[in-house]
Amino acid sequence: MPKTSSNTPSAHRTSTARPAAAPAPLASPDRWPELLGGRTPTPVQAGAIPALLAGRDVITTARTGSGKTLAFLIPAAARGIGMRPTRGMRPEVLVVTPTRELAVQIRDVARELGMPAGRITGGITPGQTRSEAAGKGLIAGTPGRLKDLINKGELDLAGLRYVVLDEADELLSLGFLKDVGDILRAAQRATGQAHLQMAMASATFPAAIRGVAEQFMQSPERIDIAPDPQAVTPTDQDILGGATGATHLLINTTRDSVLDVTATHVRDALKAPGGCVVIFCRTKHLVKRRAEQLQALLPGELVSPLQGNMDQKKRERTMDQLREGQSRVLIATDIAGRGIDLPEVRIVIHMDVAATAEDHVHRSGRTARAGRPGVNLVLLIPEQRQLWQGIRRALPAPLHPPLTREEAQIDREIQEKQGGNRGSGQGQGRSGGVRGQTQQGGGRAQSQGRGSRDGGGREASRGSEPRGGGRSGPSGTGTGAGRVGPQPARRRR
């Protein structure tokens, strides 16, 4: 699985590490399809790009891998916004993302379009940050670090013309809401404009925060690419896109057997050369322990762990090993659920049930990308059946695995609860998580905290404390019933 590069940007997320040769400037913004290098625009690109070129604000909701990155970058590049080097850290385009990895990938896609682009995230020194971001027309960054540099006067937003909130469902969760709002208000003050053109992009868009998102925008145009184009989604429900091209399966197993079942499916998926497997666990502790156990069960394969406590160099080295084919097995917390693109993920294995339907959608979206086949496999132990029932109910029909008889056989006394059954890892805090919500009975009890910042602004390392399985909506449950502003931090356990 060698690393490849191209002088034309991919229609989907790209993992190219080096900037490609810049294409020639467009004679007219109307010729934006040329920036796709001969590819046919995806539905989200065909809908969002003309609207953004016309100067309108846009909210896009589409499945993972649908080309959202280029859908919000091409309108800037086609109009020459962010295409020129600047003096100091004074971007024309600002892209706010929940994770470091996503910021790096957006920077790389922008460079392929010929944009001088940098990133501002945790995990790099102040000197590296200046080297990365100074003189760049586009900056992609995580909220905490962006806000820190704005407050210090190092990041100048006076020249800003275009703002993107990527993975908006995470950015506008209560954990990030205050930072995002502070950044947008700082941009308005710096530019003297009450309104800056804005794009929001996400694979999901929870209803409880939809109104909060729209307060920063001016009559935003909604572009929803739903899994079923015939289905009409009520405005008070969550819109969930996902890996609808994958085969969705569920296997009932036990805690004692889940490792062996995982290893068997990994071996089957990797019988042919190339490709890789992504395995999801709830916590960083489970990732570390299971990586060691799977390594012993999979001699000849390099099992690569990825979780929020790893430093940036280790995380980048892990991703390089996967992209270059040195490793074909990634085991990770939900940090890998969003914004991480690997060339061919043959199977996604959920060793632990996802904490929310949104997380399940994003995990599942790692496979069956760009028209390739893929499998999304849930390994369900009896202790997680009640949680899974709530997740299943909130998923769109195209993401449902075939129903099994065992799923409904729930012993209430053995269901995992926060603080119990340490072997599952469910009682553990989310390492650098954005949110934390626990399931109580069939509903979701609020227990939300802020994204972590370890002094350097490291955030959204997204571990996996259970957050309940039900769909959150505007009824007063889930994400805080639309409460705006900073919320009390979760007590560390």
pLDDT digits (tens, 9 = 90+) for 314-362: 888 898 899 889 999 999 998 877 767 787 899 999 999 999 888 898 8
- pTM greater than 0.85 (yes/no): no
Residue 204, H or E segment: strand 204-205
Report the C-alpha gap between 60 and 8 in whole angstroms: 23
Domains, in order of start, for the chain? 29-225 (3.40.50.300), 247-417 (3.40.50.300)
Q: What angle do CA 71, 154, 115 make, to 5 degrees?
A: 30
* Structure confidence at residue 361 (pLDDT): 87
pLDDT-derived band of residue 444, with 50, 70 and 90 as boundaries?
A: very low
Residue 81 φ then ψ, to 5°: -85, 125
Condensed to tens digits (0 to 9), the pLDDT of residues 9-61 reads: 544 443 333 434 455 567 788 889 899 888 889 888 999 999 999 999 999 88
Express each pLDDT in 67-92 by its tens digit. Answer: 889 999 999 999 999 999 999 999 99
The whole-number average pLDDT for the span 284-309 is 94
For residue 100, the model assigns a pLDDT of 86
Given a contact cutoff of 8 angstroms between Cβ atoms, the answer to whether 241 and 398 are in contact is no
What span, in angstroms and rounded, lies between the C-alpha atoms of 342 and 275? 9
For residue 403, the 8-state DSSP code is P
* Residues 305, 287: Cα–Cα separation, whole Å: 6
For the stretch 246-281, pLDDT in tens is 899 999 999 999 999 999 999 999 999 889 999 999
Give yes or no for a contact between 62 and 96, defined as CB atoms under 8 angstroms apart.
no
Structure confidence by residue, pLDDT tens digits, 462-474: 333 333 333 333 3
Task: Give the C-alpha distances (Å, rounded to integers) separating 115 from 17, 82, 138, 282.
Answer: 15, 6, 7, 37
pLDDT at 383: 95
Assess whether pLDDT exceeds 90 at residue 481.
no
pLDDT at residue 283 greater than cutoff 60: yes
CA pair distance 348, 435, nearest whole angstrom: 23
Q: Is the dihedral of CA 472, 476, 477, 479 positive or negative?
A: positive
Tens digits of residue pLDDT in 124-178: 899 999 999 999 999 999 999 999 999 999 999 999 999 999 988 777 665 788 8
